[in-house]
Amino acid sequence: MKLNLTRPLVIFDLETTGLDIATARIIQISYIIARPDGSEERNNLFVNPEMPIPQEVQQLTGINDDMVKDAKTFKELAPTLAQEFKGCDFAGFNSNYYDLPLLCEEFLRAGINFDFSKAHFIDSCSIFKKMERRNLAAAYKFYCGRRMEDDFQAHLADQDTEATWRVLQAQLDMYAPGRQEEKERQLENSIEALEAASRTGQPSVDFAGRLVYDEEGNEVVNFGKYKGVKISDVFQRDPGYYGWIQQADFTRNTKQEFTRLWLKYAKR
């Protein structure tokens, strides 16, 4: 089933040097831009991370230092990517919890404050876990009827991106209202419905989930000694907390959101 699009949708996947959003670097980015007119544009880029690729990552992805040494750095790619992604929504597999936060971090590291505020974020992994609770390979077999290893080489961004795109379209077919009787297993064909189905837990203020919104829409700390406390109250109670956040090992996006809220609440 084709997705009903009102804006371009970027389906993407990253291969990186590690799992820590604050320190990892992108070594490969693959993306498909699906447009409302039905056209699709594909791109697959190796990225020089400006650091050695850990041996375990090389073994997992098959990407080694020689393959990226002549590639552009993310900072060199960032202006073009920012222009291509402008006005787009985003989709991926587990992207809400890893790929998107890291992409945001890399943009900020490159000096580009890419505006994600108006974008919708679709995570086919979250949809799949809600519906079937498996991984990408199982999702591909379940939704597409084939073994992923027969069609793709695992742990390469361009291969995983193609598989994710097929899974997302197959999810629309399987959970179409006309095919599912139970309301909770129906998935409307719209970006908004897919985004809602991608959400798990409380909606986050920052990509890393250090700040979340409560039921009344207040920004609340989601870790440490102030977990569950409104950030407006924390700033009033402990003004030094903001300075600690800025010096600690948090992502740039998290620090950016704390700064925005400091300016909003601290002097009230």
SS (H, E, C) 181-244: CCHHHCCCCCHHHHHHHHCCCCCECCCCCCEEECCCCCEEECCHHHCCCEHHHHHHHCCHHHHH
- Overall domain count for the chain: 2
Q: Is residue 1 part of a domain?
A: no
Residues 114 and 42 in one domain: yes
In this structure, the answer to whether residues 119 and 37 fall within a common structural domain is yes
Q: In 10 A of CB 60, how many CB atoms? A: 12
The verdict on 216 and 237 lying in the same domain is: yes
The 10 Å CB-count burial string (b at 16+, else e) for 65-93 is: eebbeebebbbebbeebeeebeebbbbbb
Identify whether residues 177 and 135 lie together within a single domain. Answer: yes
DSSP code of residue 53: P
Give the pLDDT of residue 154: 72
Both 52 and 172 in one domain: the answer is: yes
Q: Looking at the structure, do residues 178 and 236 belong to the same domain, yes or no?
A: no
Half-sphere CA count of 112, side-chain side, radius 13 A: 20
Query: Which of 140, 165, 198 marks a domain boundary?
Result: 198
90 plus 220 within the same structural domain:
no
Kindly give, in sequence order, each residue whose CB lies less than 8 Å from that of residue 184, ignoring residues fewer than 6 positions away.
none
232: domain range? Answer: 211-265
Give pTM, 2 decimals: 0.79
Domain membership of residue 252 (yes or no) is yes
185 inside domain: yes
User: What's the confidence (pLDDT) of residue 267?
Assistant: 65
37, amino acid identity: D
Pair 28, 129 in one domain: yes
Q: Contact at 8 Å (CB) between 116 and 84?
A: no
Query: Which parts of the chain register pLDDT below 70?
Result: 133, 267-268
Q: Say if 2 falls within a structural domain.
A: no
In a domain, 4, yes or no: no
User: Are 161 and 249 within one domain?
Assistant: no
**Residues 171, 252 share a domain:** no
Domain boundary among 150, 171, 198: 198
- Domain closes at, from 175, 198, 221: 198
For residue 77, being part of any structural domain is answered with yes
β-sheet with 89-92: strand ranges across: 40-46, 26-34, 9-16, 89-92, 121-123
Backbone angles phi, psi at 143, to 5 degrees: -85, -35
- Residue 102 in any domain: the answer is yes
Do 60 and 152 lie in one domain? The reply is yes
Is 179 within the bounds of a domain? yes
Q: Are residues 184 and 244 in the same domain?
A: no
For residue 53, what are its two tokens? 């690729």
